[in-house]
Chains A and B, each alone.
Chain A
Amino acid sequence: MRLRVLLFEEPEDPSYNLAFEEALPRAVGCGVSPPTLRIWRNKSAVIIGYFQRAEEEVNLDEAKRRGVEVVRRFTGGGAAYHDMGNINYALSVPASWAGPESPIDYIFGKLIRGPVEALRSLGFEASLENVNDIVVSSRKVSGTAATVSWGSAFLHGAMLINADLSALAAVLKVSPRKLIDKGVSSVKYRVTNLSTIREVSMAQLVEALSSSFAKVLGLEGYYFDMPSPLELEIADALYEKYSDRRWNMERAPHSDFPVVEARVREFCHR
């Protein structure tokens, strides 16, 4: 078996990108899609974690001035700045693949080796720090987040290649408590672009991530595919939630969108 890889993105529409991001673990978990790695980009967005409140994490006026959209995702963890210099990866596999191990240990013990090994294969001395941060030369180059939901074990992350770190620092608010803990004075000084360490292209990273995740999963290579009609229908249904101010700005839970939930469940049980 080979790993299915989707290079499917709507960079101008971060809400759709996030709707599709949720569609994959839904579709994989209910058995209508095979295990899938998705690699994609947003043009200009801040993606906040499920437990975050937009106004606490984002300089909203600055984001608006710069045309940076704020969209909330379905996993916990922190806010991530996305532009075309940042590459996102998302792996969905059936939760049963964890076997006797807890799915969370499986994600943060095994699946997370995918991006770490991908970077090492490109010559970066990458390591894992503090559970889920991927670090090169003591600087964070990729944050990750995960969930075990809808029957899937899901890991996604954002990797900085040549993103605009000034824009990142301008739009993200970081708690002073957190910066003190990290021993730095600004978010800008604890993250870095891979391109400042050595030249690397998007194409190289796509290849490295695909090979590396396939290897970590014990699969025989990978193949590129297109989204299935059903995945697109699930994403279309979820788009309503990801375009809703209550979801993005007011920290509404999934359960506040019962119509969306019912539609998605229908697709899954056709």
Chain B
Amino acid sequence: MSCELKARKGLIRASVVVKEGRIADISITGDFMVMPEDVVFRLEGELREVPVQREAVKQAVARALEGASLVGCTIDDFVDVILCATGEQG
């Protein structure tokens, strides 16, 4: 499933495959700005196998984006769109 969220700056789109209550695969696409850019790929890696629960997702997002600069978007924006794509509002 996928979900889109319009952050203050940029659109974040999450496409997620959930298996047995965990994220099996995920891609995060859109026109948002995060630097250094490659943390987004690290984020996708961190999220694999994470249970579909707000706290667990938030921890993984915060871990992957630690030290990164988010321009016009927030960690909660990523958490919200990921949970929305899993069908779980947390």
Residues of chain A lying within 8 A (CB to CB) of residue B9: 130-132
Residues of chain B lying within 8 A (CB to CB) of residue A76: 10, 31-35, 37, 71
Q: Is the CB of B4 closer than 8 A to any CB of chain A?
A: yes
A104 touches B71 (CB 8 A): yes
- Can you name the residue of chain A whose Cβ is closest to the Cβ of B2? A56
Q: Is the CB of B87 closer than 8 A to any CB of chain A?
A: no
Q: Give chain A nearest CB distance to B30 CB in angstroms.
A: 6
Known: A76-B31, A130-B72. A56 touches B6 (CB 8 A): no
Taking residues whose C-beta sits less than 8 angstroms from the other chain, chain A's interface range is 20 to 34
B34 touches A52 (CB 8 A): no
Known: A131-B72, A253-B38. A52 touches B29 (CB 8 A): yes
- Can you name the residue of chain A whose Cβ is closest to the Cβ of B44? A253
Question: In the bound complex, what is the Cα–Cα distance between A207 and B5 (angstroms)?
Answer: 40
Question: Within the complex, which residue of B13, B32, B36 is in contact with A56, where a contact is CB–CB below 8 Å?
Answer: B13
- Can you name the residue of chain A whose Cβ is closest to the Cβ of B33? A76
Q: Which of A31-71 contact B (CB under 8 A)?
A: 49-53, 56-57
Residues of chain B lying within 8 A (CB to CB) of residue A178: 6, 11
Q: Is the CB of B27 closer than 8 A to any CB of chain A?
A: yes
Taking residues whose C-beta sits less than 8 angstroms from the other chain, chain B's interface range is 20 to 34
Q: Which of B19-58 contact A (CB under 8 A)?
A: 27-38, 40-41
Q: Is the CB of B89 closer than 8 A to any CB of chain A?
A: no
B27 touches A53 (CB 8 A): yes
Of the candidate stretches A2-10, A146-154, A163-171, the one touching chain B is A146-154
Question: Within the complex, which residue of B4, B8, B37, B40 is in contact with A75, where a contact is CB–CB below 8 Å?
Answer: B37
Question: In the bound complex, what is the Cα–Cα distance between A75 and B72 (angstroms)?
Answer: 15
B31 touches A77 (CB 8 A): yes
Q: Give chain A nearest CB distance to B71 CB in angstroms.
A: 6
Residues of chain A lying within 8 A (CB to CB) of residue B10: 76-78
Q: Which A residues have a C-beta under 8 Å from some C-beta of B?
A: 49-53, 56-57, 74-79, 102, 104, 108, 130-132, 145-149, 175, 177-178, 181, 251, 253-255
What are 29 sample pairs from A and B whose C-beta atoms fall under 8 A apart? A51-B32, A51-B40, A52-B29, A52-B31, A53-B27, A53-B29, A56-B29, A57-B31, A75-B33, A75-B37, A76-B10, A76-B31, A76-B33, A76-B37, A104-B71, A130-B72, A132-B9, A132-B33, A145-B33, A146-B35, A147-B36, A148-B35, A148-B36, A175-B4, A177-B4, A178-B6, A253-B38, A253-B41, A255-B41
Q: 7 extra interchain contacts, Cβ-Cβ under 8 A, other than A57-B31, A77-B10, A251-B27?
A: A51-B28, A77-B33, A132-B71, A149-B35, A149-B37, A175-B4, A175-B11
A-B pairs, top 7 by smallest CB distance, nearest first, are A78-B31, A76-B33, A253-B41, A53-B29, A104-B69, A131-B9, A181-B6
